[in-house]
Amino acid sequence: MTVIEEAELCFPQLLNTSCRKPVQNHRDNVLLHILLSCISVLTVALNLLVIISVSHFRQLHTPTNLLLLSLAVSDFFVGLLMMPFKILQTGGCWLLGTVICGMSCYCSFILTSSTVGNMVLISVDRYVAICDPLCYSRKVTVKRVQLCIGLCWACSVFYNGVILTDFLKHPNRHNSCYGECVVIISFISGAVDILVTFVGPITVIIVLYMRVFMVAVSQARAMRSHVTSVTQQRSVCVTKKSERKAARTLGIVVLLFLICYCPYYFPSFAGQDFSSGEDYAIFALWLLYFNSCFNPVVYAFFYPWFRTCVKLVVTLKILQPNSCYANVL
């Protein structure tokens, strides 16, 4: 009888302080671990291809692609760090100690905030490209985008450090037993966090993309009703069409972002409390993580340059001299 009781503990040697493992079907648990591990590997591989492609090929060094690169870096670390940590925790026990618990939660908050920030920057980029195309190249430069990306990541690190100050000092304060990793922030901090990382950014993204959609529709109607044979005007039309296609593709990315992130923030926004062990909380967190795998899949479907770059990377042609100057567009 004692053996059965010890088998249900996360740490059998700590009979009085160890958390208990939830009752799970061993076969289902193994299959779940395999599935989630495959998703983690796929997320890392696909986003690594995006990072290599945009970083290596000079033709892709554009403001929009730099934003995609920043987003891919965030998604890459979600697959490399966050997913494995949560896979280890699917058994109901945290086995890596309080220090790693604090750092993993801090990294998770940073990556979430940086992803939201990148989405806002992408929305602003598409807004300027569609609504003010004549001034786009002057307003949106590579250096300005690099500065915005750096500020986005720096603010994310600083902001979440402030929000999680008490938790990082005492990461095991809210643990009821040994083998838990629970993060709880104050009501005021939680309310501020909801406004800063959910309500505010989502409002900006939706408003900008509604404006982009309206302008894109009006431009398409104007192009259909106006046919010209002048070469310069034709090139302008092609440019506008390319910008609208990019806006549509990134619009799909933003839509998937909203679908994956809203369930995660909804309980806090609705004033409800779900502990980290509840089924809904686990589902919402993994749906948020799955967004990191969806983004490069969208690129593969809608961006020919990404498929071309993948072929060059997989066949190791990027190791050839001057491969960075290859025509991938």
**Could you say which residues of the chain have pLDDT below 70?**
1-7, 15, 23-24, 90-91, 219-247, 250, 268-278
Compute how many other C-beta atoms are within 10 angstroms of the C-beta atom of residue 47. 26
How far from 173 is each of 16, 41, 102, 160, 185, CA to CA, in Å?
17, 33, 11, 18, 11
pLDDT digits (tens, 9 = 90+) for 188-237: 887 888 888 888 988 898 888 888 878 877 766 666 665 444 444 444 44
- The structural domain count of the chain equals 1
Residue listed under structure tokens 């969208």? 298
**Domain span at 280:** 2-325
Query: How confident is the model at residue 273, as a pLDDT?
Result: 53
DSSP state, 140?
S
Any idea what the CATH number is for the domain that residue 279 is in? 1.20.1070.10
pTM of the model: 0.84
Backbone phi, psi, residue 328, to 5°: -115, 0
